[in-house]
Amino acid sequence: MARIFWFRRDRRLGDNLALNGCANQAIKDGDKEVLGVFWYSSNDFESQSGMRQHSLTESLKALDKSMGNTLSVISSEDTAGLVEFAKERKVSFIHATESFDPEGIAEQRQLASKLKANGIQLVLEDSYYAVKPGTVSKPTDGSAYRVYTPFFKAWFQIGWSAPAKLTKGFVWAARKGVSAIPVPTKPAQFPVRAGEDFALETFKKFQKRALFDYSENRNRPDMSGTSHLSHALAHGEIHPRTLLAELRDTEGHNVFRKEIAWREFYADVLYRNQHTLDDYYEPRFKNMRYDKGAKAKAKLERWQQGTTGFPMVDAGMRQLLATGWMHNRVRMIVASFLIKDLHLEWQEGASWFEKHLSDFDPASNSHGWQWTAGCGTDASPYYRVFNPILQGYKFDPDGNYVRKFIPELRHIAGSEVHEPWLLVDGLTNGYPEPMLDHSVERDESLARLKEIKVD
């Protein structure tokens, strides 16, 4: 009798401890068969952007190919579809990687309850992280770390196991009938590549191309200084253990390790504070005055479409729409602009990112936004307001990033592209004037902060 392995956000065969656990048990059972399954909600899939749809589809295609085209795909509006699938095949065990985000936890609890009522057991192992969320705690009282730096030190001291190779000796059970990988209903701007092999190839290229200088170049959106692995991590096409195992004690390697730890820190924070997926970690910020109504909606739409008149902001928002990705430094710039220049709540931006980012991760998205908003963890104060013009000069010094995504400004050479309104012909191709005065809105933002300040 085959065991089911339920692929979730772990769409790979290598370094997959939950899959190995399932395979080892299948070998002990005697038949050695594992039935690989992926389940999704068609409504959720339909609500996603074209880039997110294509990213999932290509990820599943690559996984299916690596399994010898044996992946079974189930579409139903809740996990009842998985239960029925298990009953039809007279399966007694479903194995999966444990999830620690609110949606994933609810999903696995619902499934476990339904399976138990049918005499089937859900076996959860490992996580999507090097160190399971909830593991890193203060030695004094066992409470959670609220600040990143001490979390990192404790996380690093705990450590992680070496990457695990796929268990040998099991076989993939043949799927029965047609198993349709979801077909995108919306276009993507370019062909999407995904899957475990592509992730490993991307990591190797990063090691040669940019890892050594990562500490210097990771903040430059005009350069290829980042790993481009966020998509693979979000889809579980590579595990953090695989990346960490290759890192040494050099400046670039250490900074990259710390960036992985940020992802794990946010996962830990969300696991311990489930409400912060879409609510404030620091509750007093609920009481801040945020703009509402038709004018606020119009401002939001200009931000979403990249027509604010601030080149670094607009380049970032257009990069998101064009590629399904945005450079991390620019994510902070556009987030600060939405919250502290437009005076809109961080949830507006987080929702837009969730819809369009092909590397969407619930914990990193929510708490990355809250970090910039000043209402989350760590010591990032609200009064840190990014100046979108100065950020452009600093991190896109030659203007190449702006020109790449804003064709209306390609006639402007050099750094002057960051203030096109100062040039005689700067706005001749239809690029808009700045929609606001940053210095005025910065002061307004700080004034609103004083209204909720605790003495």
- For residue 454, pLDDT beyond 70: no
Task: Give the rounded distance of the alpha carbon of 168 from its chain centre.
Answer: 32
State the Cα–Cα distance between residues 382 and 203, nearest whole angstrom.
Answer: 35
For residue 118, the tally of other CB atoms under 10 A from its CB is: 12
The pLDDT value recorded for residue 232 is 97
Of 103, 109, 102, 135, which is closest to residue 124 (Cα–Cα)? Answer: 109
The pLDDT value recorded for residue 179 is 77
| pLDDT 10s digits, 395-413 | 999 999 999 999 999 999 9
CA distances from 318 to 94, 161, 186, 209 (A): 42, 40, 18, 26
| pLDDT 10s digits, 111-121 | 999 999 999 99
- What is the pLDDT averaged over residues 66-87? 94
- For residue 455, pLDDT beyond 60: no
Q: At what angle do helices 50-66 and 196-209 cross, to 10 degrees?
A: 100
Of 398, 253, 406, which is closest to residue 321 (Cα–Cα)? Answer: 406
The pLDDT value recorded for residue 177 is 72
Residues of the chain with pLDDT > 90: what percent?
95
State the Cα–Cα distance between residues 295 and 432, nearest whole angstrom.
Answer: 18
- What is the pLDDT averaged over residues 296-309? 98
340: which 2 tokens? 């502290």
Query: CB of 19 within 8 A of CB of 5?
Result: yes
- For residue 178, pLDDT beyond 80: no
SS3 179: coil
Of 255, 205, 202, which is closest to residue 233 (Cα–Cα)? Answer: 202
- For residue 20, pLDDT beyond 60: yes
pTM of the entire predicted model = 0.95
- What is the pLDDT averaged over residues 93-106? 98
The pLDDT value recorded for residue 196 is 98
The pLDDT value recorded for residue 384 is 85
| pLDDT 10s digits, 60-69 | 999 999 999 9
293: which 2 tokens? 């109504």
- What is the pLDDT averaged over residues 415-422? 98
317: which 2 tokens? 């928002």
Minimum mean pLDDT range among 70-79, 119-128, 427-436: 70-79
Give the total residue count for the chain: 455
The pLDDT value recorded for residue 453 is 81
The pLDDT value recorded for residue 383 is 72
| pLDDT 10s digits, 358-387 | 999 999 999 999 999 999 986 666 678 999
Residues of the chain with pLDDT > 70: what percent?
98
| pLDDT 10s digits, 339-355 | 999 999 999 999 999 99
Of 385, 393, 449, which is closest to residue 417 (Cα–Cα)? Answer: 393
- The 8-class DSSP code of residue 201 comes to H
State the Cα–Cα distance between residues 447 and 431, nearest whole angstrom.
Answer: 31
Task: Give the rounded distance of the alpha carbon of 349 from its chain centre.
Answer: 14
Query: CB of 3 within 8 A of CB of 34?
Result: yes
Please, which residues have CB within 8 angstroms of residue 419's CB and are 6 or more apart in sequence?
Answer: 389, 426
State the Cα–Cα distance between residues 178 and 186, nearest whole angstrom.
Answer: 23
DSSP 412-449: S-GGGGGSGGGSTTTTTTSPPPPSS-HHHHHHHHHHHH
Q: Which domains does the chain have, with CATH numbers?
A: 3-126 (3.40.50.620), 129-163+196-272 (1.25.40.80), 277-451 (1.10.579.10)
The pLDDT value recorded for residue 93 is 98
